[in-house]
């Protein structure tokens, strides 16, 4: 079993990071002192669960977490700074801080460094998350100690539920668009004005015409989807947003 370190201080280490193509050493105190920080640690950059679920959802919920008292959301992995920087760019996860634990010093101090020799990984971090206030661990969510790579409790939704159980979660919004489309520009502007985050897929770059026909039955853009429901184009989106405002009022 892994040690529950709630009530204890985080390990004192120095993270070797790369910023603006230069080495930058960041101490534990620089990350945690005087702050409320959510940390989630995972086995490795670019690995399946970490890339498909763990990082994206924390990145999506980071703004909500910060609205409820969190100063920073930090992702830690036993990878070097170059890999972590490239992974952050590939994930477009700029709402969170990627911290390289290249030598495993932090993970070892947490009692979470485990051998992954069967995968050719060497020593890596076990998957867990924690809420840290002024360097002291208030709450930990540690994945169960069983074979494989369990992912049951260290997710962003579990952390948000602990910090702010009544918090409204952001909508899941995707906009299918086209370069040079004024209606697409209008739709995206309305979403931004409403403070709604969205993912954008661009015709002939991210998808082709048959894709939008398959998912919406239409070939026109923009096509806006919210929480799995097709809203439609810019006019339909305007009507949808107007209804939401009336509902809140």
Catalytic (active-site) positions? 50
Q: Which residues are paired to 203 by β-bridges?
A: 207
- Within its chain, how far is the Cα of 163 from the centroid? 16
Q: Which two three-digit tokens encode residue 15? A: 């993270």
Instruction: Round to whole Å and give the CA distance between 56 and 95.
Output: 10
Instruction: Round to whole Å and give the CA distance between 50 and 121.
Output: 15
Instruction: Provide the 10 A C-beta neighbour count for residue 243.
Output: 10
106 neighbors 11 (Cβ within 8 angstroms): yes
Which residues, in sequence order, are CB contacts of 23 under 8 Å at separation 6+? 16, 17, 81
Helices (H), the chain: 28-32, 48-49, 55-67, 81-91, 105-109, 156-163, 182-193, 209-216, 234-248
């Amino acid at each position: 079993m892994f040690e529950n370190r709630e009530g204890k201080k985080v390990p004192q280490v120095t993270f070797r990071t790369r910023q603006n193509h230069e080495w930058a050493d960041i101490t534990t105190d620089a990350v945690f002192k005087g702050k409320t920080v959510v940390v989630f640690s995972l086995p490795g950059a670019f690995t399946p669960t970490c890339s498909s679920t763990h990082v994206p959802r924390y990145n999506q919920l980071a703004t909500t977490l910060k609205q409820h008292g969190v100063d920073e959301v930090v992702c830690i992995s036993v990878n070097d700074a170059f890999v972590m920087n490239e992974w952050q760019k590939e994930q477009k996860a700029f709402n969170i801080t990627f911290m390289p634990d290249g030598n495993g010093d932090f993970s070892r101090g947490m009692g979470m460094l485990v051998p992954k020799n069967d995968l050719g990984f060497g020593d890596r971090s076990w998957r867990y998350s924690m809420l840290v206030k002024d360097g002291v661990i208030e709450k930990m969510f540690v994945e169960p100690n069983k074979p494989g790579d369990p992912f049951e409790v260290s997710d962003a939704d579990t952390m948000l539920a602990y910090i702010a159980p009544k918090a409204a979660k952001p909508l899941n919004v995707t906009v299918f668009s086209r370069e040079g489309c004024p209606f697409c520009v209008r739709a995206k502007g309305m979403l931004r004005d409403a403070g709604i985050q969205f993912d954008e897929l661009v015709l002939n770059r991210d998808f082709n015409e048959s894709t939008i026909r398959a998912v919406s039955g239409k070939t026109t853009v923009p096509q806006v989807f919210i929480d799995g429901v097709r809203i439609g184009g810019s006019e339909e989106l305007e009507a949808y947003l107007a209804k939401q405002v009336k509902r809140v009022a």
